[in-house]
Amino acid sequence: MRPRVLASLAFALLAPLVFPGCGRKDSTASADAGSAPDLTKITVQLDWFPEPEHGGFYQAQARGWFREAGLDVTLLAGGQQGLNVNQAIATGRAQIGQGESVTTLLDTHKGFPLLQVAAVFQNDPSVFLLHADNPVRDFKDLNGRKIMARPGWVFLDFLKQKYAIDFTIIPFNPSLSNFIADPEFIQQGFYIAEPFFITQGGAPAPRYLKAWDAGYDSYGVLIANKEWAEKKPAALRAFLAAYIRGWDDYLHGDPTPAHEAMKAANPKNSDEFMAFSRQMIIDEKLVVGRDAADSSRIGRLDPARFAAQIKILEDLKLTPPAALQVEQVMSTAYLPE
């Protein structure tokens, strides 16, 4: 589960809840409660409270495309302290979840039955947030600095090795107050969300050091329970087709159905925030890919990028050589043709 710093401003008062796609808040209802018994039930564990980063799920749900595909889909909100998406998938609490590809590779090495099956974002939007006048202009400039970040983020070790630098990690906490108050503060954040709350807090829009610009080319990814995927390939293919259709419609059509569903599921969402976050996703081409002229890259995974990610883990000695094989950790077989 990735850290997020806007939580304390927007979501700290929310109790752990199940958020079905149409916004009903109870621990048992699915988005298709009362549906025909032959619908295949799928539980999806989100990595955060419902936000535009989950636009594909909520648009497909609100439009009825999961049900149309023969699926009864329940979306479980993330964000709760202690929640681990990959553990939820591995233990069968959910069949599918949203996460980050390199972290998932490490969990696969630990023995979790995980299979990465589709991209959410062609580049994971985790970045360093800096004030506009911060003297740090490049990754090499981080040498000797203090950074608030999650200690387990592999990108930190990657930077130290690649640029032969060192820096101090401040224990992460879900607050923007330090960043807003201190013009030299640097912290990990999510490119498509935190900037909105920084400006709302009275600070100028931040600058970013984006992980992908350093060559750390991880995906925001959909992960399936590997055993379930092998037993239910048709259901997984139907799910991914509806999900990709949802993303395409959310980005290029009217996002209102998803936004209304996300507001019902999470009343802390504002129209202004959701419009901001959606536009950030669109502007950076996070879903379709920066090298794509249309929607053909939605969901797509490149085995060569997984080979590069595995090489990062091997170079950092986080996994032994050849311990992970591309064909064992990811698959494009469930994506639409």
The pLDDT > 90 percentage for the chain reads 82
Q: pLDDT tens digits for 131-164?
A: 999 999 999 999 999 999 988 899 999 999 999 9
Contact 127, 5 (CB under 8 A): no
List b or e across 243-257, with b for residues whose CB sees 16 or more CB atoms inside 10 angstroms: bbbbbbbbbeeebeb
Contacts of 309 by beta carbon, 8 Å cutoff, 6+ apart? 101, 102, 105, 217, 218
Sign, Cα dihedral of 286, 289, 295, 297: negative
Question: Domain map of the chain by residue range?
Answer: 7-123+218-329, 126-214
Q: What's the rounded Cα separation, in Å, for the pair 277 and 281?
A: 6
Chain-centroid distance, C-alpha 60: 17
Token pair in block for residue 205? 């829009």
In this prediction, residues 321-337 reach a mean pLDDT of 97
Q: What's the rounded Cα separation, in Å, for the pair 126 and 212?
A: 9
Question: Is the pTM of the predicted complex or chain greater than 0.85?
Answer: yes
Report CA Rg, the chain: 19
Q: What's the rounded Cα separation, in Å, for the pair 172 and 181?
A: 16
| CATH 3.40.190.10 given to domain 126-214 | yes
Residue 9 pLDDT > 60? no
Alpha-carbon separation of residue 12 from 88, 131, 259, 294 (angstroms): 22, 25, 20, 38
In this chain, the answer to whether the domains covering 7-123+218-329 and 126-214 adopt an identical fold is: yes
Alpha-carbon separation of residue 58 from 54, 63, 336 (angstroms): 7, 8, 19
7-123+218-329 has which fold?
Answer: D-Maltodextrin-Binding Protein; domain 2 (3.40.190)
Token pair in block for residue 137? 């202009």
Q: What's the rounded Cα separation, in Å, for the pair 315 and 297?
A: 29
How many residues are listed for the chain in this entry?
337
Q: pLDDT tens digits for 199-233?
A: 999 999 999 999 999 999 999 999 999 999 999 99
Residue 199 belongs to what H/E stretch? Answer: helix 194-200
Q: pLDDT tens digits for 53-68?
A: 999 999 999 999 999 9
